[in-house]
Amino acid sequence: MKNIVLFGAPGVGKGTHALLLAEKYDLEHFSTGEMLRQEVAEGTPLGLRVKSLMDKGDLVGDDVVIGLIDKALSATTKGVIFDGFPRTVQQAQALDFLLAQHRRRLSCVISIDAPQEELVRRIHERAAISNRSDDANEDIIRHRLEEYDAKTRPVVDYYKVSGLLVSIDGSGQINQTSMRLCEVVDRMIR
C-alpha cells in the first residue's frame, strides 16, 4: 500500500499534483488545508477556532491537524497521499506514530521545489480563480512563505535521515512536474 507525503512551499502546486497522483495511483487525497477550509465553511467549533490563524497565514496548532489526520486515517483502507501535512517536525513525528498505529508505513516523501518569486507569482494567479482569502494579500502570502521557512523546511532534514526523501524540480510546466513525480513514484514504489 502506497503512503506518500507531497512536500513543498505554498504555491508550488502540491494540491494540483496530489489530485493527479491520487487519480493515477488510486490513493486517498488528504489535504489538511482543504479539511480546515471545510471546517471554516461549515462554521464548526474547530473552524471558528482556526479561521483567524488561517486568515493571517499562520499555521494552526499541531494538535488540530494531527487530530484531523488520525480521524481520516481511521476512515480509509486505501493508500494515502498527504498534501500540506506534515508542516512541522512535531507533525512528522506524529505521522510516524499514527502510521504505525494504523499498520501503515511511509513509502516516500517527495519535495517539489521552485524559486520563491515563482511561488508568489503562482499564488497571485491562483487568487484570481480561487476565493481563498489567504491568497489575496501580498503580506499574507509573504508571511505564509516565512512560516514555511521557519517551521516547515526543517521537516526536510527529518526525512533526509530516513532516506525516504526525493526532491524534484517543480519550476516548469504542470505536465513536466507531473512526469517527474510519476517517475519517482514508479521507481520508489513497486
Q: Which is nearer to ligand AMP, 133 or 189 (CB)?
A: 133
User: What minimum distance in Å lies between the beta carbon of 58 and ligand AMP?
Assistant: 6
Size of the site for ligand AMP (CB under 6 A): 17
Q: Which is nearer to ligand AMP, 58 or 96 (CB)?
A: 58
User: What minimum distance in Å lies between the beta carbon of 91 and ligand AMP?
Assistant: 6
Q: Which is nearer to ligand AMP, 46 or 189 (CB)?
A: 46
Q: Which is nearer to ligand AMP, 56 or 104 (CB)?
A: 56
Distance separating alpha carbons of residues 36 and 42, to the nearest angstrom: 10
- 127-166: contacts with ligand AMP (CB under 6 A): 134, 144
Which positions from 39 to 68 touch ligand AMP by CB under 6 A, shown as an x/- string? --------------xx--xxxx----x---
Residue 150 has what DSSP assignment? I
Distance separating alpha carbons of residues 132 and 126, to the nearest angstrom: 9
Total residue count of the chain as it appears in this document: 190
Q: Which amino acid is at 6?
A: L
Contact flag: residue 94 with ligand AMP (CB under 6 A): no
Distance separating alpha carbons of residues 67 and 76, to the nearest angstrom: 15
Tell me how far the alpha carbon of residue 53 is from its chain's centroid. 17
Distance separating alpha carbons of residues 31 and 131, to the nearest angstrom: 17
Distance separating alpha carbons of residues 137 and 160, to the nearest angstrom: 33
Secondary element (H or E) of residue 113: strand 108-113
User: What minimum distance in Å lies between the beta carbon of 85 and ligand AMP?
Assistant: 4
Report the relative pairing of strands 80-83 and 108-113 from DSSP bridges: unpaired
User: What minimum distance in Å lies between the beta carbon of 178 and ligand AMP?
Assistant: 19
Show which residues are catalytic. Answer: 14, 87, 126, 132, 144
Instruction: Give the footprint of ligand AMP on this chain (CB under 6 A).
Output: 10, 32-33, 36, 53-54, 57-60, 65, 84-85, 87, 91, 134, 144
